[in-house]
Amino acid sequence: MISELCIFDLGLDAVEVVLRHEGHIEAPNWHRDGYLIVNGGGRLFRVPLNAPDLVPIDTGFAVNCNNDHGISPCGQQLVISDKSEFGKSCIYTLPVAGGVPRKVTEKLPSYWHGWAPDGTTLAYVGRRDGPFALYTCPVAGGAETAVVSDFDHVDGPDYSPDGAWIWFNGEREGKVELWRVRTDGSGLAQMTDDPLVNWFPHPSPDGEWVLYLAYPEGTTGHPGGLDVSLRVMPMAGGSPRTLCHLHGGQGTINVPCWAPDSRRFAFMRYVRQ
């Protein structure tokens, strides 16, 4: 497999390939200090934008990281989802430069997706006694709060930049759309309504747009290896705009990937072989 780590520039309406890697890497985050973070083979890597390469990040015992990882609002910590310790995905934090992971979630499996802008709370999905649902808990650890649970499947929660809303993709009766909900579980609203299968919404830092991945009609789950599109819609709601078509899906934009300037974002695409 050939993985292409890319940047889309909204102003130029253009794609730049930052790194071409013979192997599988996924899910870029964008650090404000000028590098991206991706995962591959259970590990995390830093990719400096001024000299692109895969630079390993020390995650201690956590060597089975999946593609649900991210960066704290202050830029000083990483959050990872890893199954090395318990055999099921657990959420941990560690210093952004690398170090020993500190466990956050008690209940498993838990897959991280969003960090509240004030730095105090994590949003994630987990499976308890039913389908995957949306939860939050303090970054320091503690009791989790079920925010949304009345769906057949929930994934991809990410906070609006003002911290008032959590966006996510929710499935009901086989139809996957984007939704948003207030952090206390009130104000649930469906934000897309079309034949496509819409996943992984990411609000831009300036509060203007929501980036998301659109699968072809009839897609089940969030597989890789499909012809998909990246779209943006106004944060307040409205008609989406298709930015580009690519070969990808799983791993393309699973986690927050906007640049701090809100003019660019990072994503993965994959080359057929």
DSSP states of 28-75: EEEETTTEEEEEETTEEEEEETTS---EEE--TT---B-S--EE-TTS
All residues at 6 or more sequence positions from 249 whose CB lies less than 8 Å from its CB, including other chains: 213, 215, 222, 223, 224, 225, 226, 228
What is the pLDDT, as a whole number, of residue 247?
A: 98
Q: Which of 245, 168, 164, 174 is nearest to 207 (CA)?
A: 164
Is the model's pTM score more than 0.85?
yes
Measured between alpha carbons, how far is 80 from 178 in angstroms, rounded to an integer? Answer: 24
Q: What is the pLDDT of residue 272?
A: 83
pLDDT per position as a tens digit, 206-250: 999 999 999 999 999 999 999 999 999 999 999 999 999 999 999
Contacts (Cβ under 8 Å, ≥6 apart) of 150? none
For the segment 58-83, what is each residue's pLDDT rounded down to a tens digit?
A: 999 999 999 999 999 999 999 999 99
∠ at Cα 111 (17, 32), nearest 5°? Answer: 40
d(CA 136, CA 115): 9
Neighbouring residues of 122: CB distance < 8 A, sequence distance ≥ 6:
79, 91, 104, 112, 114, 115, 116, 136, 137, 138, 139
Which CATH number is 2-271's, of 2.40.30.10, 2.120.10.30, 3.40.720.10, 1.10.3720.10? 2.120.10.30
Phi-psi region of 49 (alpha: psi -120 to 50; beta: other; left: phi over 0): alpha
Question: Over pLDDT 90: what percentage of the chain?
Answer: 99
Whose tokens are 């499909």? That residue is 226
Distance CA 62, CA 2 (A): 25
Burial of 59 (0-12, 13-18, 19+ CB in 10 A): buried
Helix, strand, coil shares of the chain, percent, nearest 5, are 0, 50, 50
Confidence of residue 46 (pLDDT cuts 50, 70, 90): very high
Instruction: Please list, in sequence order, all residues whose beta carbon lies within 8 angstroms of the beta carbon of residue 12, skipping any fewer than 6 positions away.
Output: none
